[in-house]
Amino acid sequence: MMNRQKFIKLFSKKLSGEIEAYDSVLLNKAISDNAHYRELADHLEQYFIKHNKSDQTDRQQQLNQIWAAIQDNENSQISGKYDYSSPWNFSIPGIWLKAAAVIIILSFVSLIVYQLLYKQSMAEIERLTTNETKTFKMLDDGTKVWLNKNSTLSYNKLFGKQKREITIEGEAYFDVVKNSKIQLFVHAGAIDIEVKGTAFNVKTQKESQNIEVALIRGLIQVSERQDENKTFLLHPNEKIVYTTTQKAENNKLQIKSIDPSELLNETKWIADTLVFRKDKLKDLAIKLEKKYDVKIDIQSEALKEKRFSGIFINETIEQALTSLKFSYPLTYTINKRLVVIKEHE
């Protein structure tokens, strides 16, 4: 059964409009199965509506209203209500329930205050969505992300400065920069992934019941969000498959060892992505030859030493060379599989 702390956390997300579909199902089930949670949910919702009537109120006013609500709640429901010189009469369920509800309400309001303060200090969430083309994104801390077609990546601004939080819908490959001070968390469906410095592939699709995580190098910790006791460490050449069902208690999280050749199949979709940072043209040419199956002849020693930065994903060889031309005045010719690059005259 869902514990009280988890219930309050999910209910606060619901009231703030930030709850995900999967968590909403868990919350509704907890309310349906537990009479105390039903009464508590109604109490909290009425309390929230009473003290948060206007969506147009600015954040500082909201904070003032909430703190005033806390003070009103303390004065009207706690002060003078109980005789602390003798034990409580636990045979009066109404008093016990009301006291418990007050404590939980204060905890809940504290969560709302935290959310408002956090949103005030942090910028909004960044989102990157792909349709029929893949894309590459380097986050502010240097972490590299390859995002597959029809996928969405969400992450906090100021990534790597105060927190590193990512949500993935679809498929992505991560090459994470290690930061011992600021841990990185990736949320995929109903599982959470705690990351340090590592590389791994995550796949979660709306039409599929499975969430898959394959580790290439490093070490990651995977947890089931509903039950934090279900936590697994994933090692290289291992894969986790999390299968969701209509009944949350029947969900399965399994670890599978996979052959390195099979592991390559997990990430082959990023193989045609070429990322280069301040590469000399002579070194970049070697990568271009491999990507496009051509032979490149650079007819200038000075040009060979020029440095370029960029990303090629779905571009043709001609489009790639044209983009280099925008960065530096060069010319090129393509004759079948031979590419000749010269200084611009």
End position of a domain, from candidates 69, 102, 121: 121
Q: How confident is the model over 106-139, as pLDDT tens digits?
A: 555 555 555 554 444 444 788 999 988 888 888 9
End position of a domain, from candidates 61, 87, 121: 121
**CATH assignment of the domain containing 314:** 3.55.50.30
Residue given tokens 């949103």 in the structure block: 119
- pLDDT value for 13: 72
Distance separating alpha carbons of residues 169 and 188, to the nearest angstrom: 7
Residue type present at position 197:
G
**Structural domain that includes position 176:** 125-269
Judgement on whether residues 339 and 305 belong to the same structural domain of the protein: yes
Distance separating alpha carbons of residues 289 and 341, to the nearest angstrom: 13
Q: How confident is the model over 142-186, as pLDDT tens digits?
A: 898 999 989 999 998 888 888 899 999 999 999 998 888 898 999
Judgement on whether residues 248 and 138 belong to the same structural domain of the protein: yes
- Count structural domains, the chain: 3
**Are residues 27 and 7 in contact, defined by beta-carbon separation less than 8 angstroms?**
yes
Task: Identify the three-state secondary structure at position 126.
Answer: strand
Task: Identify the three-state secondary structure at position 267.
Answer: helix
**CATH assignment of the domain containing 255:** 2.60.120.1440
End position of a domain, from candidates 226, 243, 269: 269
pLDDT surpasses 50 at 12: yes
Judgement on whether residues 82 and 110 belong to the same structural domain of the protein: yes
Distance separating alpha carbons of residues 301 and 283, to the nearest angstrom: 13
Judgement on whether residues 9 and 90 belong to the same structural domain of the protein: yes
pLDDT surpasses 60 at 262: yes
Judgement on whether residues 135 and 64 belong to the same structural domain of the protein: no
Judgement on whether residues 111 and 246 belong to the same structural domain of the protein: no
Judgement on whether residues 217 and 157 belong to the same structural domain of the protein: yes
- pLDDT value for 153: 94
Judgement on whether residues 219 and 231 belong to the same structural domain of the protein: yes
- pLDDT value for 250: 66
Judgement on whether residues 193 and 213 belong to the same structural domain of the protein: yes
- pLDDT value for 9: 73
Weakest mean pLDDT among 29-43, 73-87, 201-215: 73-87
Judgement on whether residues 134 and 260 belong to the same structural domain of the protein: yes
Closest CA to 2 of 249, 251, 252: 249
Judgement on whether residues 41 and 157 belong to the same structural domain of the protein: no
pTM: 0.52
Judgement on whether residues 206 and 91 belong to the same structural domain of the protein: no
Residue given tokens 């611009």 in the structure block: 344
The mean pLDDT value for 203-221 works out to 84
